[in-house]
């Protein structure tokens, strides 16, 4: 048994703040004053934690670490500075890939590298299908061979819920939106994906690197918001090799859901578990393709975003997952998309605790419906601070209630903390600063009425995220019976200026009472 103590411990439990907490195995068994724990835990090893503040471990309820890892196994374009660098990196991989096999690059950010299209990718290879996944995962671009294999010749070939765009010459420019590329990427169990994952040892090594980076910013748990059997096998292999240090929950993409194969019990759930099934109803919030009640100048070139699944197909899929007693998690950003999700959720028999991922644009009526239906929203944490100008440009005054953490909490709705990493940095302290200030780098404050206090923001990224995966009893607070996952910070978050929260260093990160990362 160990007893941990530090200058200040914020346990997020009821009652006075403890001076210390005792850990036996992986769980907290007692909290109290130092004197109380010396009496209650004779012979325990005492650990005096450096730093200024101990808090429960940060838990990101919606992120994609598996994709961050797989990007490093595929052709990693995160550091590409221009079109030539993109082309050369893909050419090198094509030269080592048998003809006819897909060459996959990710992630591409056109704000940094513009002008990537079908014609550029045709200079990579005419024998290999080539595809680049855009960093938001809402669109991708392919070469001519790739378009040919997908059966795309004109914009009319796009499936419902998808879009194919053309260049000035009227030809497809290679860009595929939503289902036009999502269906080939996540086709279900009976077709091969256009994005193979490489060799398992390389996957595990890349995942270990990503998880180390997450521990460096205090993340102890996360929910990977899209997995297929490929990512499940990667996580399982990392766990079997003793390389999976954070606690991982997973949302299975709905095309791979089989009620008969869903595990009745998950004996290793404290470390690796399936937490639900993921569906997507509309497009991107910061990318300007979400489905809204009122028109706006969207990035699709029209006056609204995209609906990815038709109403009937969506409702049938949700009902099937709910009937199996499994949590549903639906990506819905726009107010119309959110209303459509609630229409289906409210008609379900019995189960509460389904999720709405992102749940970006709401009003008081939608907040009340979410509260009444027992739905768990998982809004973006850092997006307002990072993309405030962009979303205000798309949606105008609607963004005053975008990512409405304050309204949800005031309505008694538990809220999970989410980065959507690797679209943005996963750093929870960056997100906490955004939740507290709602201020962008340029000084624009977006929706000041949605600001949170520091401890409320902390609770979103700990207890709120645990609630989102059904782990309230195990995670999110440093109280007896819960897992001893915690972070030691170099400054007291309640004592620093709000604009300095993201600058507070993490001193160490602990999972189950064991140190998984230390600045020392």
Alpha helices in 411-498 (DSSP H): 428-437, 454-459, 465-468
Q: Decide if 214 contacts 511 (C-beta within 8 A).
A: no
SS3 108: strand
User: Given this model, what pLDDT does residue 504 score?
Assistant: 98
Q: Start-end ranges of CATH 3.10.310.70 in the chain? A: 75-185
| Residues contacting 205, CB < 8 A, separation 6+ | none
User: Given this model, what pLDDT does residue 350 score?
Assistant: 80
User: Given this model, what pLDDT does residue 520 score?
Assistant: 80
User: Given this model, what pLDDT does residue 188 score?
Assistant: 96
Q: Euclidean distance between the first and final Cα of the chain, in Å?
A: 23
Q: What predicted TM-score, i.e. pTM, was given to this entire model?
A: 0.96
User: Which CATH fold would you assign to the domain 251-475?
Assistant: TIM Barrel (3.20.20)
User: Given this model, what pLDDT does residue 34 score?
Assistant: 97
Q: Start-end ranges of CATH 3.20.20.140 in the chain? A: 251-475
Q: How far apart are CA 394 and CA 221, in angstroms?
A: 33
Q: Decide if 64 contacts 503 (C-beta within 8 A).
A: no
For residue 450, which of 383, 395, 389, 390 has the smallest C-alpha distance? 383
Phi, psi of 30 (to 5 degrees): -160, 150
Please report which helix (H) or strand (E) contains residue 149, including its range.
helix 144-150
Reported as a single tens digit per residue, the pLDDT across 368-400 is: 999 999 999 999 999 999 999 999 999 999 999
- Per DSSP bridges, beta strands 20-24 and 2-5 are antiparallel
Reported as a single tens digit per residue, the pLDDT across 399-427 is: 999 999 999 999 999 999 999 999 999 99
Helices H / strands E in the chain, number of each: 16, 21
Taken in order 178, 208, 378, 255, the sign of the CA dihedral is positive
Measured torsion, CA atoms of residues 82, 63, 71, 210, in degrees rounded to the nearest 10: 110
Per-residue pLDDT tens, the chain, 520 aa: give them. Answer: 999 999 999 999 999 999 999 999 999 999 999 999 999 999 999 999 999 999 999 999 999 999 999 999 999 999 999 999 999 999 999 999 999 999 999 999 988 999 999 999 999 999 999 999 999 999 999 999 999 999 999 999 999 999 999 999 999 999 999 999 999 999 999 899 999 999 999 999 999 999 999 999 999 999 999 999 999 999 999 999 999 999 999 999 999 999 999 999 999 999 999 999 999 999 999 999 999 999 999 988 899 999 999 999 999 999 999 999 999 999 999 999 999 999 999 999 987 799 999 999 999 999 999 999 999 999 999 999 999 999 999 999 999 999 999 999 999 999 999 999 999 999 999 999 999 999 999 999 999 999 999 999 999 999 999 999 999 999 999 999 999 999 999 999 999 999 999 999 999 999 999 999 999 8
User: Given this model, what pLDDT does residue 111 score?
Assistant: 84
Phi, psi of 452 (to 5 degrees): -115, 155
Please identify, in words, the CATH class of the domain defined by 75-185.
alpha beta
- Per DSSP bridges, beta strands 103-108 and 130-134 are parallel
Q: How far apart are CA 230 and CA 37, in angstroms?
A: 46
Q: How far apart are CA 322 and CA 60, in angstroms?
A: 24
**Residue corresponding to tokens 């005054």:** 397
Side-chain-side CA neighbours of 181 within 13 Å: the count stands at 25
């Amino acid at each position: 048994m160990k007893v941990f103590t530090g200058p200040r411990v914020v346990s997020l439990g009821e009652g006075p703040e403890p001076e210390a907490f005792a850990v036996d195995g992986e769980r907290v068994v007692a909290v109290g004053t130092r004197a109380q724990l010396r009496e209650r835990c004779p012979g325990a090893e005492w650990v005096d934690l450096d730093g200024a503040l101990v808090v429960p471990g940060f838990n990101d309820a919606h992120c994609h670490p598996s994709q961050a890892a797989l990007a490093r196994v595929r052709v990693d374009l995160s550091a590409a500075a221009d079109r030539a660098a993109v082309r050369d990196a893909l050419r090198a991989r094509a030269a080592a890939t048998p003809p006819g096999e897909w060459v996959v690059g990710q992630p591409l950010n056109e704000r940094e590298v513009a002008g990537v299209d079908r014609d550029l990718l045709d200079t990579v290879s005419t024998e290999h299908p080539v595809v680049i996944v855009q960093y938001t995962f809402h669109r991708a671009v392919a070469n001519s061979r790739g378009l040919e294999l997908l059966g795309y010749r004109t914009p009319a070939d796009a499936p419902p819920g998808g879009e194919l765009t053309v260049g000035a010459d009227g030809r497809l420019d290679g860009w595929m939106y939503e289902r036009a590329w999502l269906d080939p990427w996540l086709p279900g169990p009976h077709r091969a994906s256009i994005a193979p994952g490489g060799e398992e040892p390389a996957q595990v090594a890349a995942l270990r690197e990503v998880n180390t980076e997450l521990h460096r910013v205090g993340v102890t748990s996360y929910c990977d918001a899209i997995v297929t059997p490929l990512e499940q096998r990667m996580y399982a292999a990392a766990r079997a090799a003793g390389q999976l240090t954070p606690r991982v929950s997973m949302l299975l993409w709905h095309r791979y859901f089989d009620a008969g194969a869903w595990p009745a019990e998950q004996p290793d759930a404290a470390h690796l578990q399936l937490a639900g099934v993921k569906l997507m109803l509309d497009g991107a919030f910061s990318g300007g393709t979400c489905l809204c009640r009122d028109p706006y100048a969207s990035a699709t070139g029209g006056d609204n975003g995209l609906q990815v699944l038709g109403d009937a197909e969506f409702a049938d899929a949700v009902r099937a997952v709910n009937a199996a007693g499994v949590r549903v998690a639906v990506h819905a950003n726009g107010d119309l998309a959110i209303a459509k999700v609630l229409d289906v959720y409210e008609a379900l028999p019995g189960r509460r605790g389904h999720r709405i991922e992102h749940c970006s644009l709401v009003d008081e009526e939608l907040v009340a419906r979410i509260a009444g239906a027992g739905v768990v929203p998982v809004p973006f944490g850092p997006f307002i601070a990072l993309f405030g100008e962009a979303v205000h440009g798309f949606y105008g005054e609607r963004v005053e209630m975008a990512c409405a953490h304050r309204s949800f909490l005031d309505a008694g709705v538990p809220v999970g903390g989410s980065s959507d990493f690797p679209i943005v940095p996963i750093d929870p302290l960056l997100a906490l600063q955004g939740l507290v200030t709602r201020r962008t780098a340029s000084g624009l404050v977006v929706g000041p009425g949605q600001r949170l206090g520091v401890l409320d923001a902390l609770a979103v990224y700990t207890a709120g995220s645990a609630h989102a995966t059904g782990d309230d009893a195990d995670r999110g607070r440093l109280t007896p019976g819960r897992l001893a996952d915690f972070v030691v910070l170099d400054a007291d978050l309640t004592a620093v200026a709000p604009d300095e929260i993201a600058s507070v260093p993490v001193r160490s990160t602990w999972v189950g009472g064991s140190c998984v990362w230390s600045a020392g």
